């Protein structure tokens, strides 16, 4: 018995000691945590803070791309998606409901702002299974002004999901130059973040300037994520992307896009590309190519990812003769009235032939040889200069070297000059390859009195916060391969190519302006070796400058493998060069020799001005006002203030009255989009060219979001329809006269 008691006491003592030790350990642990504020290496204070600290991203706006006059080419726009919360559990205070409480009233109000019937909206709002609903395409991409109007209605449960998208207001417009963006997902810790990243062109090359840096907002919240009453928050403002101003002129680029569209439609070339440059500075005012793509939808991108104007190296053909002639004049071996034997020229066992099968034109002057684009003339000039001398001129004109234009993947071409035959063919543009940008740079030496200017596309980059330039380009001379006197003589020779009876460039004459330039027809290499056969398997081109005496613009156009119907290859090239050069010279108010230049008008802000007065002012300046609405004051305009227009162009004026549909017959798609963007119409069209019909009748009241369906036809199709209509009217009139005569004859017979 005593032994059991003794054992019991021992056991109790042991248990007491064990529990005492456990209590001591727990107490010691508690003291350590209390004193250090840490458990298992984690700061408990920070853990608690993180539990109730919320961080939201403040998204930076991607930098805007402008033309050199400040017209937007690419920008981020904020759009909103309309949504409705249906779950009643979201409402904690019945006086301030957070869900839709009256579906019928909500539907009627929303129907005023989105293109859906009230019944259809109400049906969605009565979906008892859904926590939240959206309204499909009708509730997406809502502009800020519509969002504000809906918010003013104070509808419970109606919310807006904010989004930003890259917007290219001009559509298919210098697309390979500008590029496009795409949203990509990146993991940062446990978070998946979406970034907008440039994929090609300026958007990709200048990503570090355009992308911006997101900010953030941190705040303390309760268990459910609501901001606590003290409202303490820390905001780190986003750093928006920088503004990039290009040297591109939107108006000149539009001239080019229109001309490329026409040639693409009519001749379906394998490639077509063109550049307009300021002859004095090297600024690139326009550059475009076909095939191209729409940067918003990327339709057409699969056909060609390359910017052909800087990446594509090709044999230039006879446009290279410009620089052979310039070198020969500089070396004093070009005598325009000196005779030579045309037709053939022997290089070892190889015979160089003129383009008429080697028949030539007998003994002709070197000036006529240039006008006729004689290969033999160039071979003789090379012999007079010496191959080593001409090779130095190729270097002086910077062939075989990148121009350094601010665009990715620039090609440099190849000077093929190892053997005598290669040296001769290089003098007339065969074998050696160049880029279009190299030809433009070299041509500035001829146009600019011997001073060769570096081509550039970036005018300046402006910091979004400081509004100061972080990068600025100025005209830069990169060489002086020929003298001023040589440049003047070369231009005189090139002018005769377009004006003389033998000139291959007669088709490039422009009324009122003298054009100096040179045609080119280059064979296209066969991937299996040699050259492709067939009359269409060439690159047809023209490198021209105007006015010839003192060039202000240089335009290079090339069209590869056009589908010709008995026409020469110069025809599709001229259908790009001529309208682009003529319209650009007139737009820039460069004085012609004969015809008056079109005046450029800068628009002012007409907001709140009386319609009658604005109409009078615009008509006096020969601008066509188009009134949208029944009000008496201007509330909006397109184009915006400080835009430049040519005489005869349209300005769309929105009034404070009810919007009405204008008559768009014969409007260009560009003018249609001006009006549609201002009014808020959604445009769908079929065909190309000008408006032939519209689904909304002129004068009909319209509302934002309404769909406008158009049928477009070309001028050729319109002329054909007009002719058919005239013939029908003529037949109808003849039939009417015939019937009248028959009726009269019948009346006379009855009277007898």
Each residue of 94-147: pLDDT tens digit? 888 888 999 999 999 999 999 899 999 999 999 888 888 888 878 877 877 888
Place of tokens 């188009």: 626
Q: Which own/partner contact pairs does 694-698 have at CB distance under 8 Å and 24+ positions apart?
A: 694/661, 694/664, 694/665, 696/661, 697/661, 698/661, 698/662, 698/663, 698/664
Contact indicator for 234, 272 with CB cutoff of 8 Å: no
What pLDDT, on a 0 to 100 scale, did the predictor assign at position 8?
Answer: 67
> Does 650 have pLDDT greater than 50?
yes
**Two structure tokens written together for 39:** 């458990």
Quote the pLDDT of residue 640.
Answer: 81
The lowest-confidence range among 43-57, 404-418, 724-738 is 43-57
Kind of pairing between the strands at 707-713 and 682-686: parallel
Which residues make Cβ contacts (< 8 Å) with residue 147, sequence separation at least 6? 80, 160
User: Does the pLDDT value for residue 230 go beyond 70?
Assistant: no
Domain end (from 536, 558, 587) = 587
Q: Is residue 733 part of a domain?
A: no
The whole-angstrom separation of Cα 617 and Cα 642 is 16
Judge whether 726 lies within some domain: no
The pLDDT assigned to 344 comes to 95
In whole angstroms, how far apart are CA 743 and each of 389, 656, 729, 740, 752? 90, 57, 21, 5, 14
- Is 311 a member of any domain? yes
pLDDT of residue 29: 65
Evaluate whether 143 touches 273 at the Cβ level (below 8 Å): no
- Whether residues 101 and 127 share a domain: the answer is yes
Going by C-alpha positions, the residue among 247, 257, 251, 255 that lies closest to residue 277 is 247
CATH number of the domain enclosing 483: 3.40.710.10
CA distance 442 to 394: 10
Q: How far is 409 from 204, CA to CA, in rounded Å?
A: 12
Same domain (yes/no): 689, 550: no
Largest CA distance in the chain: 166
Q: Please give the pLDDT value at position 573.
A: 96
Q: Which two tokens stand for residue 474?
A: 């100025």
In a domain? residue 188: no
* Tens-place pLDDT, residues 479-516: 999 999 999 999 999 999 999 888 999 999 998 899 99
Q: What is the reported pLDDT for 228?
A: 46
pLDDT at position 563: 93
Q: Are 553 and 278 in contact (CB under 8 A)?
A: yes
Give kind and range of the element (H or E) at residue 385.
helix 375-385
| Least confident segment among 254-258, 267-271, 656-660 | 656-660
> Is there a cis peptide before residue 61, judged by omega within 30 degrees of 0?
no
230 and 97 in a single domain? The answer is: yes
Nearest to 142 by CA among 112, 170, 169: 112
Residue 721: inside a domain: no
Listed residue (136, 89, 113) closest to 123, CA to CA: 136
Q: What does the pLDDT look like over 354-366, one tens digit per residue?
A: 999 899 999 999 9
Joined together, the tokens standing for residue 212 give 């911006």
Do 435 and 314 sit in the same domain of this protein? yes
* CA gap 380, 382 in Å, rounded: 5
| Distance in angstroms (rounded) separating the CA atoms of residues 455 and 244 | 17
Nearest Cα neighbor of 547 from 482, 595, 479, 481 is 595
Angle between helices 103-110 and 118-125 in degrees, nearest 10: 140
DSSP state of 106: H
Phi and psi dihedrals of 607, rounded to 5? -55, 130
For the ranges 94-98, 462-466, 725-729, the lowest mean pLDDT is seen at 725-729
- Greater pLDDT, 510 or 296: 510
Give a yes or no: residue 555 inside a domain: yes
In the block, residue with structure tokens 């040297």: 247
Helices of type H across 77-206: 103-110, 118-125, 144-152, 175-178, 201-205
Most confidently predicted of 219-228, 558-567, 571-580, 712-721: 571-580
Provide the pLDDT confidence category of residue 224 given band limits of 50, 70 and 90.
Answer: very low
Q: Do 236 and 258 belong together in one domain?
A: no
What would the pLDDT profile of 376-388 be if each residue is shown by its tens digit? Answer: 999 999 999 999 9
* Nearest by Cα to 558 from 272, 281, 212: 272
Same domain, 99 and 42: no
What's the CA gap between 478 and 473, in Å, rounded?
Answer: 14
pLDDT given at position 752: 47
**What would the mean pLDDT of 230-251 be, rounded to a whole number?**
80
Domain ranges, residue 606:
601-716
- What average pLDDT is seen over the chain? 85
Query: Which CATH number goes with the domain that contains 72?
Result: 3.30.70.2110
What is the mean pLDDT of the segment spanning 341-365? 93
Q: List pLDDT tens digits, range 666-719.
A: 887 778 877 887 888 887 777 666 788 889 888 888 888 888 888 877 665 666
Residues 20 and 44 in one domain: yes
How far is residue 387's CA from residue 378's CA, in Å, rounded to a whole number?
Answer: 12
| 567 and 632 co-located in one domain | no
DSSP 3-state of 487: helix
**In which band, very low, low, confident or very high, does the pLDDT at 576 lie, cut at 50, 70 and 90?**
very high
CA distance 204 to 406: 12
Is 337 within a domain? yes
pLDDT for res 79:
77
Query: Using omega within 30 degrees of 0 as the cis cutoff, is the peptide bond preceding 639 cis?
Result: yes
Distance CA 507, CA 519 (A): 10
The backbone torsions φ and ψ at residue 398, rounded to the nearest 5 degrees and listed phi first, read 65, 30
Assess whether 111 and 233 both reside in one domain: yes
Closest alpha carbon to 205 in 314, 312, 310:
310
The angle, 0 to 180 degrees and rounded to 10, between the axes of the packed helices 321-330 and 387-396 is 110
Residue 290 burial (CB count, 10 A): 25
With a cut of 90, say whether residue 594 has pLDDT above it: no
Size of the chain, expressed as the number of residues it contains? 752
CA triple 112-113-117, angle to 5 deg: 60
User: Which one of 528, 555, 587 terminates a domain?
Assistant: 587
Q: Kindly report the CATH number assigned to the domain that includes residue 709.
A: 3.30.10.20
The residues pairing with 133 across neighbouring beta strands, listed in sequence order, are 84
Catalytic one of 175, 318, 584, 643:
318
Together in a domain, 605 and 666: yes
Nearby residues of 681 by Cβ (< 8 Å), 6 or more positions away? 675, 702, 704, 705, 706, 707, 708
- pLDDT above 70 coverage of the chain, percent: 84
Residues 6+ apart with CB under 8 A from 31: none
Domain count for the chain, please give it: 4
Does 318 participate in catalysis according to the annotation?
A: yes
Q: Are 652 and 676 in contact (CB under 8 A)?
A: no
* Coil/strand/helix, residue 317: helix
Of the pLDDT bands very low, low, confident and very high (cuts 50, 70, 90), residue 304 is confident
> Does residue 194 lie in a domain region?
no
d(CA 28, CA 563): 92
Angle at 246 between CA 274 and CA 297, to 5 degrees: 70
Residue 190: predicted pLDDT:
61
Task: Determine if the peptide bond prior to 291 is cis (ω within 30°).
Answer: yes
Alpha helices in 300-374 (DSSP H): 308-311, 321-330, 366-371
pLDDT for 43-60, tens place per residue? 545 554 455 455 556 678
Of 54, 82, 98, the domain-final residue: 54
Q: For residue 739, what pLDDT band results from cuts at 50, 70 and 90?
A: low
Place of tokens 């019991």: 8
Tokens representing residue 690 in the block: 């000008």
Whether residues 536 and 648 share a domain: the answer is no
Same domain? For 447 and 345 the reply is yes
* HSE-CB of 245 using CA atoms within 13 angstroms: 19
- Of 235 and 536, more confident: 536
Closest CA to 181 of 145, 138, 212: 212
State the SS3 of 469-485.
EEEECCCCEEECCCCHH
Short-list 239, 221, 240, 241, CA closest to 231: 221
């Amino acid at each position: 018995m005593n032994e059991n008691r003794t054992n019991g006491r021992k056991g109790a003592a042991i248990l007491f000691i064990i529990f005492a030790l456990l209590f001591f350990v727990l107490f010691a642990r508690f003291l350590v945590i209390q004193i250090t504020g840490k458990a298992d290496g984690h700061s408990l204070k920070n853990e608690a803070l993180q539990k109730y600290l919320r961080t939201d991203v403040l998204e930076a706006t991607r930098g805007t791309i402008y033309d050199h006059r400040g017209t937007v080419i690419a920008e981020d726009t904020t759009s909103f998606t309309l949504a409705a919360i249906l779950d009643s559990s979201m409402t904690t205070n019945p006086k301030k409901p957070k869900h839709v409480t009256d579906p019928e009233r909500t539907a009627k109000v929303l129907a005023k702002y989105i293109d859906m019937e009230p019944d259809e909206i109400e049906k969605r709002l009565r979906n008892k299974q859904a926590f939240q609903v959206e309204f499909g395409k009708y509730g997406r991409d809502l502009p800020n002004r519509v969002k504000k109007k809906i918010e003013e209605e104070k509808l419970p449960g109606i919310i807006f999901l904010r989004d930003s998208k890259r917007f290219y207001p001009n559509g298919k417009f210098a697309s390979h130059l500008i590029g496009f963006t795409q949203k990509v997902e990146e993991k940062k810790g446990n978070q998946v973040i979406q970034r907008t990243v440039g994929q090609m062109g300026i958007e990709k090359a200048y990503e570090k300037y355009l992308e911006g840096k997101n900010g953030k907002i941190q705040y303390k919240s309760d268990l459910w994520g609501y901001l606590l009453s003290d409202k303490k928050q820390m905001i780190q403002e986003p750093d928006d992307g920088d503004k990039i101003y290009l040297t591109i002129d939107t108006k000149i680029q539009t001239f080019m896009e229109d001309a490329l569209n026409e040639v693409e439609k009519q001749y379906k070339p394998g490639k077509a590309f063109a550049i307009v440059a300021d002859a004095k500075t090297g600024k690139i005012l326009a550059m475009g190519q076909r095939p191209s793509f729409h940067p918003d939808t990327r339709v057409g991108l699969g056909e060609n990812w390359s910017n052909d104007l800087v990446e594509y190296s090709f044999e230039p053909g006879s446009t290279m003769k410009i620089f052979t002639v310039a070198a020969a004049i500089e070396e004093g071996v070009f005598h325009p009235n000196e005779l030579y034997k045309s037709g053939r020229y022997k290089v070892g066992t190889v015979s160089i032939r003129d383009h008429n099968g080697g028949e030539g034109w007998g003994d002709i002057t070197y000036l006529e040889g240039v006008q006729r684009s004689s290969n033999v003339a160039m071979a003789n000039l090379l012999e007079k200069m010496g191959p080593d001398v001409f090779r130095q001129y190729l270097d002086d004109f910077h062939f075989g070297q990148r121009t350094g234009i601010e665009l990715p993947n620039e090609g440099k071409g190849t000077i093929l000059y190892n053997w005598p035959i290669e040296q001769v063919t290089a003098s007339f543009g065969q074998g050696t390859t160049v880029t279009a940008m190299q030809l433009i740079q070299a041509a500035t030496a001829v146009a600019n009195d011997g001073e060769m200017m570096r081509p550039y596309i970036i005018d300046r980059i402006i910091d979004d916060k400081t509004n100061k330039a972080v990068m600025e380009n100025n005209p830069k001379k990169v060489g002086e391969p020929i003298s001023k006197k040589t440049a003047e003589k070369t231009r005189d020779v090139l002018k005769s190519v377009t004006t003389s009876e033998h000139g291959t460039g007669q088709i490039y004459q422009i009324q009122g302006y003298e054009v100096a330039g040179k045609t080119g027809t280059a064979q296209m290499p066969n991937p299996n070796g040699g050259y492709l056969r067939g009359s269409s398997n060439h690159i047809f081109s023209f490198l021209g400058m105007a006015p010839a005496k003192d060039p202000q613009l240089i335009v290079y156009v090339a069209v590869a493998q056009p589908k010709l119907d008995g026409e020469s290859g110069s025809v599709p090239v001229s259908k790009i060069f001529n309208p682009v050069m003529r319209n650009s010279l007139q737009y820039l108010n460069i004085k012609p020799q004969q015809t008056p230049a079109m005046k450029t008008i800068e628009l002012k802000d007409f907001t709140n001005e009386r319609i009658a007065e604005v109409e009078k002012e615009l008509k006096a300046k020969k601008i066509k006002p188009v009134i949208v609405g029944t009000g008496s004051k201007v509330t909006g305009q397109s184009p915006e203030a400080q835009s430049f227009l040519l005489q005869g162009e349209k300005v769309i004026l929105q009034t404070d009255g009810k919007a009405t549909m204008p008559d768009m017959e014969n409007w260009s798609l560009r003018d249609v989009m001006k009006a549609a963007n201002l009014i808020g119409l959604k445009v769908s069209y079929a065909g190309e060219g000008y408006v032939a019909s519209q689904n909304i009748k002129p004068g009909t009241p319209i509302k934002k979001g309404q769909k406008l369906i158009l049928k477009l036809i070309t001028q050729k199709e319109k002329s054909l329809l007009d002719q058919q209509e005239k013939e029908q009217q003529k037949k109808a009139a003849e039939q009417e006269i015939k019937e009248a005569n028959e009726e009269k004859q019948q009346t006379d017979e009855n009277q007898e």
